[in-house]
Amino acid sequence: MKILVTGGAGFVGTNLIKRLISEGHSVTSIDNYHTGFEGNHQEGAKYINGDVKEIKHYNVYGNFDMVYHLAAIARIQPSFKQPVEYFETNANGTLNVVNYCYKNNIPLVYAGSSSHHSGKLKNPYTFSKDVGEEIVTLYQEPF
């Protein structure tokens, strides 16, 4: 299968890509290296230095059979200083990924956050991830 992993240069993405490659899949990663590292690159995967907010521009790389959406700006404390950046990436970026998958009929696996269980309105990070989860839920219903 041709698989796209957003946030593929982060800890979870790196380990997922290792597994996917070992299973014989063709893997492409989109990562803006906000928290991921080039040192995490895995031989056999293709890496795009890009942002999920602009995923529609990466369609030139071909259609995928599956997308794992792991990309996000994480951590609660910094979100208080950069709430707009968190929302743009974690909510709007997720909207772009989900819409991309919807328009191209590609199954999506989304990495949510357990933080919303302690109150989604307690900080910008949790709120932005909760909105992302709601977007995924919205797109599960036919329009």
pLDDT tens sequence across 93-142:
999 999 989 988 899 999 988 776 777 888 999 999 999 999 999 998 76
Contacts of 6 (CB under 8 A, 6+ apart): 13, 29, 30, 31, 52, 55, 67, 68, 69, 70, 71, 97
Q: Which domain, by its residues, includes 57?
A: 2-140
Query: How many domains does the chain fold into?
Result: 1
- The domain that holds 56 is classified in CATH as 3.40.50.720
Q: And the tokens for 69?
A: 């959406």
pLDDT tens figures, 51-63: 888 877 665 456 7
pTM (2 d.p.): 0.91
pLDDT of residue 60: 47
**Tokens 């839920």, residue located:** 137
